[in-house]
Structure 1
Amino acid sequence: MELVVVGSVFAAAAAVVIGGFGVTPALVPAALFVTLFMIEICQGAHYPAEKTVLGVMWPFIAVVAGAIASSFIMPRLFEGEALVWPQKMSGFLALVPLAPNSGNYTQDMYLLVNASLAVTAAIYLTRDGFNLRRLLDGYFVAGLLAAFIAAWQFASNELHVWYPTDFFLSNPGWALLSTQTMGSLTRLNGPFSEPASLAAYLCSSVSAAAWVIFNGDKALLPRLTLVSGLAIILLCTSATGYLALAIMTGLLLVRTFLAAAPATRRRVVTGTFIAGVLVALAIATTPVVAPSVAEEAKIIFTSTTNKQQSASYTARTTSDRDSLRAMEASDFLGVGWGSNRSSSLGPGLCAAIGVWGIFGLLGFIAVLYRHLTIAHRVADASSRAVMQGCSAGLLAALTATMLSGPTISSPDFYLLLGLLVGTAARARHQARAVFQPAAQAPRARFGVATMMKG
């Protein structure tokens, strides 16, 4: 599982290339873990809170099963009746009539492996005998690794330091955008296919680290992740990263003032105030100390704020509108998983799985929220820190993908989901193990006393 987390950093690389299809490094340990887990199950293994996990995950499992079934049924049921954007563009960018295609099967594979990883990891992690914080720390280490590679790329762009682009961008299945510029600055994408993907990944790790810190964690690792991640997000000039970070900051403040403990509220207010002062000082002093940097920053700010007037923005919004039209053309049932490629997650899910899938995912979110609420009441400090970090990381990843991501295919997202569900399930199981003997003890003493009296 730690290899899954680290391998997800190399999202645009390929561990194995088969024809024009590249297997990403994280998929290899993910498939190995799922296989080993299934071998244990076949040998009769059981886990402490497996029923609790399955009770929470069943809406997610149902939606995944329905999505895979839809990839076979819907392209044939509504063949030619809807226009979709294909997963693989060849030639001119244009809508094509709905029909079965190879994207149905490749996307099914990604979904099956990732969903299996989430469910099996959640069950496996209910075991005793190891520290669940270790996986969350592995996620912070992966965030540091992504920031280091992006800083390495920045040094290569500015100082012509050797940088192995061919290794980090070796997957032939991705459209690799590593030469984009803004002003005189070459945009950073690090080990990801484009700057927006790098910013989305770092926004997730930064959010997880920030929420853990604000809830009182004293460890050094999340602090390093927070600082380095924020620095690279600012350097990569991604509007997605800036907007996702702003949304997460707003959600953090709202959550803090509505439901957080007084100590957490003080830490959030203090941290926000210090960050605001530092940003204000940087804005005020940069034009005097480094005029050229200020000019570049002005160009970046202008380009970011005028994003709605760009051709890429027009193309993104067009594909999202077309995805919603494809859902309507399929009687709101969806055109099938892998049949359409949108620009952002919301319209993509609507087009792929339709109204039934959206309601299923909303039901899963409701069940998961109740599960976490119960677990937070009985969990120890370490388990609460893991749940807080995972929750913030998942929410940030969803926010960034809602802004500019067709789907979530990175295994580390699903592993974080499994870690979140498994940690909460283990906390509930341990609480029941403590309370049940205490509840049974008075009845036992009452029985002995009654027998003695008789």
Structure 2
Amino acid sequence: MQPSFVGLALCCALLVFGRLLGAPLVVALITSIAFGSTAIATLGAVGGSSPLIYMVFVLLLLASMLMRGRIWRELTIVFQLHRPAWIVCLLTLYAVCGALILPRLFAGRTSAFIPMREHGLVFEVPLAPVSGNFTQTAYFALGAMAFLAMSVLLLRRDALNAVRKGFFAWAGINAAAGVIDLASKMMGAGDVFLPLRTATYALVTEVEQAGFWRIVGLYSEASSFGAAALASLAFSFTYWKSTGSRPAFVLAMVLLVLVLLSTSTTAYVGFGILFLLLMLSLACSLAAGRVSRADVALLALCVVCAAVGLAILVRDRHAFEAFEGLFRTTILEKSTSSSALERTFWNARSLQSFLDTYALGIGLGSSRSSNWVISVLSQLGLLGALLQAALVATLAYAPGREAWSRGDRGLIALHDSVRAAALTALLCGTIAGGGADPGLLFFISLATVLACRAHLRADAAIASTLRADKRARIWSGPGMGYA
């Protein structure tokens, strides 16, 4: 093992930063997700894998939970309170067993795509056990354990404030890193974040597309940054729409500009889907006569942007030619590019692997594709895909939401914004994702969403009891005749 001193120093800095915000471990854990190319070490024994710095904070979180005197009692409460916790454990057990058994059971019966670090390419080879079965399964299992640890921590209502700070810090670092990266390249300074990129990833950090610099922020390439920026935008925009927070609005506007300038096809397609969903939501609100102040502000902003764009176009019809070229390159011509054709082939072969293994899968980490859903099907099989779908449905659907109407507005805003970030990240993974692991962000978001729902249900139950007691006192009062 070769430790990364840059990664260690950054971990210490994040702990100090979290301490300043009053929650060193939680804030540092969530913030560390933004450092997508900084490793804590390089593990030569498992094919040169380089775990990112968030692994340090996951292990610290687990250690802190194990040292709690009531950990087993608290875990019992978690499993009683959150039924999806059983699904997480069952899915993790299936993933671990599948990674050990399936590549050996179906060895040679189908093909897999394995990245070769020394060549920087992906090769198709007969299915066989690989180091990815160990590393990817370890990441998945640690994510699941982080879910349980966060669920225990969030049994206390005040811990949700630390999560709120962590998510804002995560989105803020993504925004700041994108601005710095773009500004440095435009000034000719190159990749100023290169010293932080200690992971053994293929770096594509100083590339132009259609005359625009590709923004990579703290990630290894533009697609990863585009997905992170879009998820951060979904978080900050949803929080602003729920609370009217000005800092959240400013953060959302900065992230919107970065997404539009990212040159990432993943970000553009994902943004287009989210924009259509937003317009549909606004149309439903208008039809139902439930227009909020945020809806009015959003419509006004869209009208102003459209008017400004038309005015510029009338004055100079060639003003947007550069953006037209970017749109043509990243969207219209992307499907015919060599990389798109290669990724389509990966997806087709991965689906064939799903059929070749009788829907059991080839094991987590055995191969890669270019679509998260296809990766789940091919690696985890039908059973694993159904379990994963149940977790996604749990995240997306909030039963009993009508009872939250008088609940804590800040808690509802945190629930909605964290859920929006996680679902957006999964959307980007479905557009262009390489593995079946939904990621640490998904597991932390799932724990946060379930905790918010539990506290909001408790608030609603208390409010209902108080209203019932009040009605009982009124009807049993003097002169009512019902005592």
Where on the TM-score scale, by shorter chain, does this alignment land: which range? 0.7 to 0.9
Matched, 1:84 2:112: yes
Structure 1 portions without partners, runs of 5+: 444-454
Report the secondary structure of 1:21's partner residue. coil
Which of the residues 350, 360, 378 maps onto 1:351?
378
User: Is 1:34 aligned to residue 58 of structure 2?
Assistant: no
RMSD over aligned CA atoms reads 3.0
**CA deviation profile, 1:74-101 (whole Å, cap 9, x unmatched):** 0111111110112545546431111111
Shift of 1:428: 2.2
Correspondence for 2:355: 328
Letter in 2 for 1:247: I
For 1:48-447, list aligned pairs within 5 A. 50-88=78-116, 91=119, 93-128=122-157, 130=158, 132-161=160-189, 163-172=191-200, 174-215=201-242, 217-258=243-284, 262-264=289-291, 267-268=294-295, 270-279=297-306, 281-282=308-309, 284-285=311-312, 288=315, 294-304=320-330, 305-368=332-395, 372-374=398-400, 377-378=403-404, 379-407=407-435, 408=437, 410-432=439-461
Distance in 1 between residues matched to 2:424 and 2:281, nearest whole Å:
14
Take 2:293 and 2:468, find their aligned partners in 1: how far apart are those partners?
39
CA displacement 1:155-200 (0-9 Å, x = unmatched): 221112475332232211x222113221333211111111111111
What is the CA–CA distance in structure 2 between the aligned matches of 1:440 and 1:165, rounded to whole Å?
61
Conserved 8 A contact 2:111-2:127: yes
Distance of 1:139 and 1:289 partners within structure 2: 41
Letter of the 2:38 counterpart: A
- State the one-letter code of the partner of 2:85: M
Q: Structure 2: how far apart are the matches of 1:140 and 1:69? A: 37
- Give the SS at the match of 1:6: helix
- What are the superposed Cα offsets for residues 283-319 of structure 1, whole Å, 9 maximum, x if unpaired? 651685796x734223212202211111111111111
Tell me, what secondary structure is at the counterpart of 2:370?
coil
Find the counterpart in structure 2 of residue 2 from structure 1: 27
Task: Provide TM-score, normalisation by structure 1.
Answer: 0.87
Is the Cα–Cα contact under 8 Å of residues 79 and 86 in structure 2 kept in the other structure?
no
Work out whether residues 53 and 122 of structure 1, in 8 Å CA contact, stay in contact via their aligned partners in 2: no
CA distance in 2, matches of 1:440, 1:51: 31
Does structure 1 retain, via aligned residues, the 8 Å contact 2:185–2:191? Answer: no
Which structure 2 segments of 5+ residues have no match? 1-25, 473-483
SS at match of 1:234: helix
Find the aligned partners of 2:307 and 2:343 in 1 and give their Cα distance: 33
Decide whether the 8 Å contact of 1:57 with 1:364 is kept in 2. Answer: no
Deviates more, 1:427-436 or 1:144-153: 427-436
Q: How many residues align?
A: 439
Q: CA–CA distance in 1 between the matches of 2:410 and 2:344? A: 43
Question: Does residue 23 of structure 1 match 2:51?
Answer: yes
C-alpha contact (below 8 Å) 1:136/1:389 kept by paired residues: no
Higher relative contact order (CA 8 A, sep 6+): 1
Aligned partner letter, 1:105: F
In structure 2, relative to structure 1, the CA distance for the partners of 1:168 and 1:236 (3 Å cut) is farther
Match of 2:7 in 1: none
**What SS does the aligned partner of 1:86 have?**
strand
Q: CA contact under 8 A between 1:47 and 1:124: conserved in structure 2?
A: no
